[in-house]
Structure 1
């Protein structure tokens, strides 16, 4: 059953099969965030064991994000061209390989290499999983996407807690190993129960030249930001900016570009939805990583305790996302998404005026709850409004663009943290004499996150009601 139309009819006539696919994709969507957020609380232990500086420590999540971002659009194109299920399965195998290498890494260079593999495979998981759910659920799509988002947030919930406990009991290496049994289960279930295939008869071939231009540009900008104020940083930023310009020109001049920028930028509803997504994730992602360091270094918490505090945000997101998905099938998604942005603004505003070395933990928890409400109300409605309006042959790339916007936001937030770390702490390890500098990094990061959240509110509020590409 390779024909996409036959596959669509099969799932329309078999509700049990639809929910089996939903379960498989939800488990896979749980894996990446549980591994990623679990590694956050392990960063101090990794830094101590491998003797790495603050900047290198910030590259542990950054390497994952950058490789994930660079692979997102190629993964969407390959999924439309060669089959979403096939790319999904390949992503699972690669994720397993990357996790094994990470656990055995004895140097920071090998660990960062394994994070690159994990980032590439995660892009294949996320892009194809969301597109498969959208293809299978012609009705009740919002509710299905809500469960998908909830599984992601459940991974974020369990990650810090499990990561902290595993780090304390078995060492940081085990953080990268404990998701492996679930990966094996996903691969077995997908191979045995996920019937048919989804591909586009009109899919363009992968634009390798454009992919190369984008990769050089993104790497140049990100590496340059992490090295400021060194002269090499300026060179990296210039090279990155030049290649991003070349990539944009390339997308407008070739017949089958990696992304059709004229369609994306020329469509105001779609571009505003992507812009809002970028700003939302920029406001939160790097900050959560930094709060993990703050709780352990400045507040003296163990990895497990820090994980318990950080999981509050993800718990709220997990509980709210399915409800927001159902509501987005009945009410205007733009309204729900904008309310989510406002909740994040409220939480960040409170953190701006209260964060310090002795901030009451209940205030930190209250802010994290506001972040959870914000993400819970924003993510599913924003996704449903976009994917519900695109033709089936563009689901792979549309899903990739949505995930790309998430990653661009995460990379922007991480780049800000990396830049602040580089400027205020430099290449030194984070020791007690640097705790005051780390506190200053936290204050600046919270203020910049508030600006990002305000921008997200504007883009979400001002986009038109209809979205089409």
Structure 2
């Protein structure tokens, strides 16, 4: 096999997606293992939720910085560093003998995931020409959409068959293989030297942490004054961060000029809404299947497989389509279809509903999912200059992660505020349906694609890297 064939963009994409799937699946894989973890480590619900929350927090907080690190030192280098951190932390999770040790190891896992995620999107932006990027993002989007749905299924099988520790230990051989594939098939792309403004880094990390922590812990602390103070402090720090970025005429950590690209700004807003809707729908959905229908974790997780299957099947097809139609068409259809599917799902969440009636809205949501993840990513990155690929990917993925945290917190708050549990599950579907209206509005405002400056640069960079 020639070096050119070995270094084809599609082979590179496959190597990146192998590791990317693992870290995204870990966002949801713990959901079905919580009862087993509680029993073995002798802890309660309010503590075990931090096994998931610690991962989400540590994942979301550094994303603005890790995208820039990829620009500075090369996306391959930072991806590999993140993969090593993630794999070693997975081993730590599997060897944990206390809930504290497990939570700490999960936080380290999240840091590894934060190092990896922006690099996958940045590499795609830099090695694929604009007319092929939609198809590439289609494959990437199918991984992103399916991993979060498949995670609980994998988790259920491992917990039922081998025990909860194996949902983490299985990452070790996968991580080693992902490392080898990345070393061989991911090219060393040109780097762009950046200045890191440490006060801005501190403001962004501090603000993101306080805001995300307050949202995650809000329900547990019954939205006490301490929680509101935490959230308020996070908002103040983030506002100060934006003010500093606006006045920075040199090289800000987050160039606000990114948002002058209309499609990047609108795609980022829409992806935040999608993140909210996804977790706000999944949380009550699992409660319904396990608590109302009495399903075991593995059985409950397999109900969602029809949604995951359709997303995986259709995402590459949709990715090719998005290169040939107006940017607003495909994601608008996707958001509208997802909103209809969630509302439909909420209407049939009753104890006596036949299972086949639950599957119909999941089919609708699976097809709609494929029209959102990859098209939005392709549209967001189309007009970005190559030297901003990393920071743009960091901002975009931060928006997605913030949406996931907000959706989880919002759904939890709605469930706890209703006394009739089954009715609360159905009514909680109003939140994701309503939030998706924001996504529909953003997609309707998307404009025609505007190529990035110096259109010859990406082709030359790709030829140099892959040749």
Which region of structure 1 is more displaced relative to structure 2, 249-258 or 175-184?
Answer: 249-258
Q: 1:49: which partner in 2?
A: 40
Q: Is the 8 A contact 1:40 1:289 kept in 2?
A: no
Unpaired stretches in structure 1, ≥5 consecutive residues: 1-9, 425-435
Matches within 5 A, 1:18-29: 18-29=9-20
**By how many angstroms is 1:295 displaced?**
1.7
Please list, as runs of the form range in 1=range in 2, the aligned pairs for 1:15-414 lying within 5 A after superposition. 17-138=8-129, 139-200=131-192, 203-225=193-215, 226=218, 227-254=221-248, 255-261=250-256, 263-414=257-408
Map Cα deviations across residues 167-214 of structure 1 (whole Å, 9 max, x no partner).
0111111111113212111111222343433422xx432333222212
For residues 167 and 41 of structure 1, what CA distance do their matches in structure 2 show? 8
CA contact (8 A) 1:312 1:365 kept: yes
Does structure 1 retain, via aligned residues, the 8 Å contact 2:415–2:428? no
Q: Is the 8 A contact 1:150 1:322 kept in 2?
A: yes
Distance in 2 separating the partners of 1:369 and 1:190:
34
User: What secondary structure, in the 3-state scheme, does the structure 2 residue paired with 1:172 have?
Assistant: coil
Give the whole-Å Cα distance in 2 for the aligned partners of 1:93 and 1:52: 29
Moved more, 59-68 or 159-168: 59-68
Q: Is the 1:292–1:310 Cα contact (8 Å) retained in structure 2?
A: no
CA-to-aligned-CA distance 1:330-379 (integer Å, 9 cap, x gap): 11232000000011111112123332344432233222222222220111
Residue 157 (structure 1) shift: 4.8
Pick aligned residue for 1:461 from 436, 439, 444? 444
Q: For residue 62 of structure 2, give the secondary structure of its aligned residue in structure 1.
A: helix
Count of residue correspondences: 445
Change (3 A) 1:422 1:102: farther
C-alpha separation in 2, matches of 1:413 and 1:467: 32
CA pair 221-155 structure 1, distance change in 2 beyond 3 A: closer
TM-score by length of 2: 0.88
Q: Residue 52 of structure 1: CA displacement?
A: 4.0
- C-alpha deviation, 1:324, in angstroms: 0.8
By how many angstroms is 1:132 displaced? Answer: 1.1
Post-superposition Cα deviations, 1:382-418, rounded to whole Å, max 9, x if no partner, equal 1112222222111111122221221121121122134
Q: Secondary structure at the match of 1:36?
A: coil
Cα pair 1:41 1:306 within 8 Å, conserved: no
Q: Name the CA distance, whole Å, in 2 between partners of 1:444 and 1:67.
A: 31
Check 1:290–1:45 CA distance in 2 against 1; reply closer, same or farther (3 A cut). Answer: farther
Partners of 1:291 and 1:379 lie apart in 2 by 21
Matches of 1:15 and 1:174 in 2, distance apart?
33
Q: Equivalent residue of 1:327, what SS?
A: helix
Does the residue aligned with 2:194 lie in a helix, a strand or coil?
coil
Provide the alpha-carbon RMSD of the alignment.
2.4
The CA deviation string for residues 46-78 of structure 1, in whole angstroms up to 9 with x for no partner, is 233334444434433322222111121111100
> Residues 159 and 252 from structure 1, CA distance in 2 versus in 1: closer, same or farther, beyond 3 angstroms?
same
Unpaired runs of at least 5, structure 2? 453-467
